[in-house]
Structure 1
């Protein structure tokens, strides 16, 4: 069933688990995400970045996700990830996304608040949930690139002010994660996470979670993270599977065989994450 993002995350916030938000850009990745959620009875968020929006066509990818979501036996939200372009944000609303992220983290706090509030007001009118980001998460992925020098942790006092002024539904914070593959071992500021969660009491989002250890993931969930973004791990599983399959089956040219095998590899990654996040068997309880 297709639902809003806050419908999924409000429950996760109350019950103390995290929901996987997995990025897609085509049919096979979407199938892998939603099939995994159904097989594990897990709520799920399917994300589309601005790059994927332009690659697949926003309306096309929205229709793929919405069609599968409406037929799914578990709650599915369709989310725009790292929306910065006003035109794409507006088209996402028009195409039926049920959750959008406005990323104004590059702006000074007053301007970020002003821009985010404008998006929240528009989304509220059509019952769409809104995520925002405070602080700057480092690394490079898709259209998002923040250097190590530019990366900046989220200030708890600013987080309180930001949420109060904007009315966002969930907040992405910077505590030491990074987009894309990690070049070293990440060291997360769990005390910062703990303080922000205790002061806000709302769903907290962790970006750049691909490559984090299971120990760090579980600790972050225990301290209040309710939405965890995964993209790089899925891409790497897809690429490795296609390379290996073609090396071993040099005469195969049917894309269904090649992509079908890659879908299995992606599902293995996605299911493992869902279990790690504690969202398995949370869609229909009792």
Structure 2
């Protein structure tokens, strides 16, 4: 099966009450781990590339690694998606390079600028006559706080999505899916301590997601696929391993998985996960070096990291997304 866009995947996910995982890729081991997990669980999957990943790995390397993964996993639908494209030019470049889906993120600009640039990207991406294929487009309304690659928004400067804008935005742009802000956040430090409470064990508990906003958006856009960014849960077992083996990640905290599963049963058809993969990889490597100080072969410690990433993805597919056996 060749690379696909997200249109039919989201239609099926919406009807059946699950979400498709969008996992960020940066190198070969991460691509392998994600697609092997999806293949073993018969799950559709989205491999997404940030502008930071393009700078690190080179866009052509990433495209060809994903193509190799498609050849190695012919029975599952795989989408190649641009995450947080910040300009028409970047989106155009990715479409021309063979990406099957792009995100234009102009949420940090005025509403009218967001509409104008998103519409321009959609017109280019949807022009089947020009390239013989339909490329799906995601956009964002509202702004998520946090830091991840080139996305940097200070706490206090984020904003929830205004449900009053969603119908007008979708109608005027022709966008295929919409990322909304309901309390998720980028990075491994998704909340400040003062935003949270502490349970009896002293562990930070984040504020709940704004399901009231999600329900209102769903009401105004029936059947339309919604996306959640910044949805890593920051597994504490990996944070603990990192901290016990030379790392310093105090009070790293993520989104509770039960809330993400609830969102997946509603209008949310795509859930973005990146930090959890990074934590799994880093925990494995730190542990490996402590247990094997004589090792210097990258295949040894990267192999451990790949296994952790695969374990993370399999857990997310079954317990959070509900996309197993949906390919």
| Both structures adopt the same fold (TM-score exceeding 0.5) | yes
Matched, 1:277 2:284: no
Matched, 1:160 2:160: no
Give the conservation status (yes or no) of the 8 Å contact 2:19–2:265: no
Instruction: Please provide the CA RMSD for this pair.
Output: 1.1
Stretches of structure 2 lacking an aligned partner (at least 5 in a row): 128-132, 197-205, 234-254
Give the conservation status (yes or no) of the 8 Å contact 1:204–1:225: yes
Give the conservation status (yes or no) of the 8 Å contact 2:18–2:269: yes
Partner of residue 136, structure 2: 129
Match of 1:208 among 230, 233, 236: 230
Give the conservation status (yes or no) of the 8 Å contact 1:66–1:78: no
Partner of residue 239, structure 2: none
Report how far residue 107 of structure 1 moved: 1.1
Helix, strand or coil at the partner of 1:51 = helix
Q: Deviations over 1:198-243 (max 9, x none)?
A: 2112111001111211221121112221100000010011111100
Match of 1:176 among 175, 178, 183: 183
Give the conservation status (yes or no) of the 8 Å contact 1:58–1:91: no
CA separation in 1, counterparts of 2:59 and 2:89?
Answer: 11
Helix, strand or coil at the partner of 2:231 = coil
Return 156-165 or 8-17, whichever deviates more.
8-17
Helix, strand or coil at the partner of 2:152 = strand
Helix, strand or coil at the partner of 2:179 = strand
Partner of residue 140, structure 1: 147
Partner of residue 229, structure 1: 272
Give the conservation status (yes or no) of the 8 Å contact 1:79–1:100: yes
Helix, strand or coil at the partner of 2:63 = helix
Match of 2:289 among 241, 246, 261: 246
Return 11-20 or 65-74, whichever deviates more.
65-74
Size of the aligned set, in residue pairs, is 283
Match of 1:99 among 84, 98, 101: 101
CA separation in 2, counterparts of 1:111 and 1:11?
Answer: 32
Map 1:56-75; keep pairs closer than 5 Å: 56-72=57-73, 73-75=75-77
CA separation in 2, counterparts of 1:196 and 1:91?
Answer: 31
Give the conservation status (yes or no) of the 8 Å contact 2:35–2:69: yes
Give the conservation status (yes or no) of the 8 Å contact 2:42–2:76: yes
Report how far residue 187 of structure 1 moved: 2.2
CA separation in 2, counterparts of 1:66 and 1:12?
Answer: 24
CA separation in 2, counterparts of 1:21 and 1:186?
Answer: 23
Give the conservation status (yes or no) of the 8 Å contact 2:142–2:159: yes
Matched, 1:42 2:43: yes
